[in-house]
Structure 1
Amino acid sequence: MATLPAAVLSTRGAMKQGRSSFSGHRITILGAGGFMGRYVTSRLGAVGCQMVLPYRGDELYMRHLKPMADLGAISFVKYSIRRLEDVEKVVAGSDVVINLIGLKSETKRWSYQDVNVTFPAVLGEVCTDHGVGRLIHLSALGAATDVDCGWLRSKALGEAAVKDAFPLATVLRPATCFGEEDKTFLNSKAKLCRHLPAFPLVDGGGARAQPVFVDDVAKAVVSAVCDPSTAGKTYSLAGPGIYTQAELAQIVFDGIGDESTAISVPKAAAIAAASATAMLPDPWMWPDLVKLEAVDTILANEPTGTGTLADLGVSATSMDPFAPRQMFVYKKKSPFIDDTVHVREPS
């Protein structure tokens, strides 16, 4: 069985100093510009890690990450996951690589196979060739090869591919994440509840989800980096609460202060409608999102032997007190009036 390099084992218990210290780690974070990436970058920057943050497009979209570490601790490098030499360039010299890249909806240019399966395999091979000590790969809760959701299937295949190329990879399987900047969960649901005449629930919204706080996942990533004993293991990350899709919709309607307009839509009809909206720029719905909302993604259905947030020393945050605060900006009534009672009396 493969073993960790001595240099990696020697870092056990490190990363307990502050922002201006040096943890001893040089970490490449792929996908740092996304929702999850800012939290992981902030957590690692706070303990003195040097970070390489590859990006595509314009560096302008990465500048919000600059203050998340000490001066000189963050390097931005332009690259493409389709160029092997670029991937090697951003990995070379790092002792830890974190892969947060994941494609939620397919486009004409990018497929699930490209991003969620092929790239993790290539990344694992590159990390092996360059002697990287640790590889942390983010998958998804509920990922399996036998589910009726192409995204979840691709995530399962990606796990197998990265493990085949880098057996000591640590795989984290987070549930749907909630947080201020989420794009496909509470914020998306709130916008639909505000603007659609009726909010669609796939087959009545009976499927269950166990959302996890995005910063809890970031803490789990840092914990995995700190603890070499997590190498080669898989962890399923979920919050403490289990909700049906119908209950999630009601939480959003309560948060924005509106009567529920939720209606049941057959899965086949929802997929047909999502196929049309998927052709729009920045679509709010696509077929695999419908399929994801029609299956249970909860810890109880996870493979036996996987760890949890608790095993990584992270206490799960409840969504219940968080959701109303996030829905505040979507309220239909004045935010200073609650049930006709003035929160702040007008002058």
Structure 2
Amino acid sequence: MAPVSDRLVTVFGGSGFVGRNLVRSLAKRGFRVRVAVRRPDLAQYLMTAGAVGQIRGVQANLRYPASIAAAVEGAEAVVNLVGVMHERGANGFDAVQAFGPGAIGRAAKVAGVKRFVHVSALGLHAGSESAYAKSKLKGEEAARAAFGDPIILRPSVMFGPDDDFFNKFAGLARMSPVLPLIGGGETKFQPVFVGDVAEVLARGAEGSLTPGATYELGGQEVLTLRQIFEFVLKTTNRKRLLVPMPFGIANVQATLFELARTVSLGLFTPPLTRDQVTLLRHDNVVTEEAARAGLTLEGLGIQPATVEAIVPSYLWRFRKAGQFENKVA
């Protein structure tokens, strides 16, 4: 670990899945890290990732410009990781993902921040009807308009011990005898290890990436939804029926899930939303243009970690007998 310097990086949303990996990476590089979150008390566990006083949590809310300005003051670089997969009250897609990047970018520009790194998402299409995709694209535009030359990262679905992807599917397989292959299970993904994404983010914060460039981050393998389900079942030693589900039926099912959330006053979190069904109509893979331009993990000289090398190390807990399970159920 490098000695602690006086170089400061502010990470918005630093207490989440990606954030905790990034904070560790920055701390190892010797940066002081300011973790800007709505609930600093929930980020206290990050303090042990560095030396005493190296990592500090501060309160910041995207709806309050003064809190954003205070969070970026004195920072050399700012990283925005704030995002939501489900809309809840005031934390809707537009408020968080369309408005937020511009608010942070403006504050960073005024404060004289040298680098602004914004995390978007892979697989965005200008003509998409998905509210999530639209808000992500608006967020990229807002970041550019506010800061001028932000570094934008578009990762595919990320995996790691606390992910909401492989863990989610393994949990579903533990409870249900049937797994639905929405759209026939042909949608393609390029899952990327969260540690690799954190490495690129850290490079962006320290000034090793090209200002104004958009990087697309995907793993080594391109997998269909069907292949992902098959991998999860094999890894957790379970046999389940994979049933193709047309997009229309999946949309009806998602509507019922959303109705249940409304009736429960938000206590029920839908496992599938109509917006997610819409997203599944498009592949989530690195484009040929990004690959040719070297704006990928390989282009940065990073050998992506494979799904098979990482995911079994944490999915074993979904087996009937955990780590002691050897036979197919």
After TM superposition, the score normalised by the length of structure 1 is: 0.87
1:256 aligns with 2:239: no
Residue 144 to residue 161, structure 1, CA distance change in 2 (3 Å): farther
- Tell me which of 4, 28, 36 is aligned to 1:54: 36
Largest Rg, 1 or 2: 1
Distance 1:334 1:317 in 2: 24
Distance 1:178 1:129 in 2: 35
- Asked if the contact 2:161–2:311 (Cα under 8 Å) also holds between the matched residues in 1, the reply is no
Aligned residue for 2:307, secondary structure, equals: coil
Aligned-pair CA distance for 1:327: 1.7
Higher-helix-fraction structure: 2
- Asked if the contact 2:173–2:233 (Cα under 8 Å) also holds between the matched residues in 1, the reply is yes
Tell me the matched-pair count: 320
Aligned residue for 1:338, secondary structure, equals: coil
In the TM superposition, what whole-angstrom CA distance separates every residue of 1:254-274 from its partner, at most 9, and x where no partner exists?
A: 111111222111112212222
Aligned-pair CA distance for 1:305: 4.4
- Asked if the contact 1:27–1:98 (Cα under 8 Å) also holds between the matched residues in 2, the reply is yes
- 5+ residue gaps, structure 2, are 262-266
Aligned position for 1:98:
79
- Asked if the contact 1:224–1:312 (Cα under 8 Å) also holds between the matched residues in 2, the reply is no
1:308 aligns with 2:267: no
The AA in structure 1 aligned to 2:194 is V
1:126 aligns with 2:135: no
Aligned position for 2:269:
282
Aligned residue for 2:18, secondary structure, equals: helix
- Tell me which of 183, 187, 199 is aligned to 1:219: 199
Aligned-pair CA distance for 1:132: 0.8
- Tell me which of 272, 295, 314 is aligned to 2:282: 295
Aligned-pair CA distance for 1:222: 1.2
Aligned position for 2:264:
none
Aligned-pair CA distance for 1:122: 1.4
In the TM superposition, what whole-angstrom CA distance separates every residue of 1:270-304 from its partner, at most 9, and x where no partner exists?
A: 12222332425333222222222332111136667
The AA in structure 1 aligned to 2:202 is V
- Asked if the contact 2:36–2:71 (Cα under 8 Å) also holds between the matched residues in 1, the reply is yes
Aligned-pair CA distance for 1:199: 1.1
Aligned-pair CA distance for 1:192: 0.7
Aligned residue for 2:323, secondary structure, equals: coil
Aligned position for 2:306:
318
Distance 2:249 2:161 in 1: 31
Distance 1:306 1:106 in 2: 34
1:187 aligns with 2:167: yes
- Asked if the contact 1:277–1:283 (Cα under 8 Å) also holds between the matched residues in 2, the reply is yes
Residue 53 to residue 229, structure 1, CA distance change in 2 (3 Å): closer
Distance 1:302 1:291 in 2: 24
The AA in structure 2 aligned to 1:77 is V
Residue 337 to residue 35, structure 1, CA distance change in 2 (3 Å): closer
In the TM superposition, what whole-angstrom CA distance separates every residue of 1:102-145 from its partner, at most 9, and x where no partner exists?
A: 11111232211111111111111111111111000001111232
CA RMSD of aligned residues (A): 1.8
Aligned position for 2:252:
272
The AA in structure 1 aligned to 2:215 is Y
- Asked if the contact 1:250–1:260 (Cα under 8 Å) also holds between the matched residues in 2, the reply is no
Distance 1:234 1:174 in 2: 11
Comparing 219-228 with 185-194, which one deviates more in the overlay? 219-228
Aligned position for 1:20:
3
- Tell me which of 119, 125, 134 is aligned to 1:138: 119
Distance 1:281 1:27 in 2: 36
- Asked if the contact 1:141–1:302 (Cα under 8 Å) also holds between the matched residues in 2, the reply is no
Aligned position for 1:10:
none
- Asked if the contact 1:245–1:293 (Cα under 8 Å) also holds between the matched residues in 2, the reply is no
In the TM superposition, what whole-angstrom CA distance separates every residue of 1:233-255 from its partner, at most 9, and x where no partner exists?
A: 11000001000000101111111
The AA in structure 1 aligned to 2:297 is L
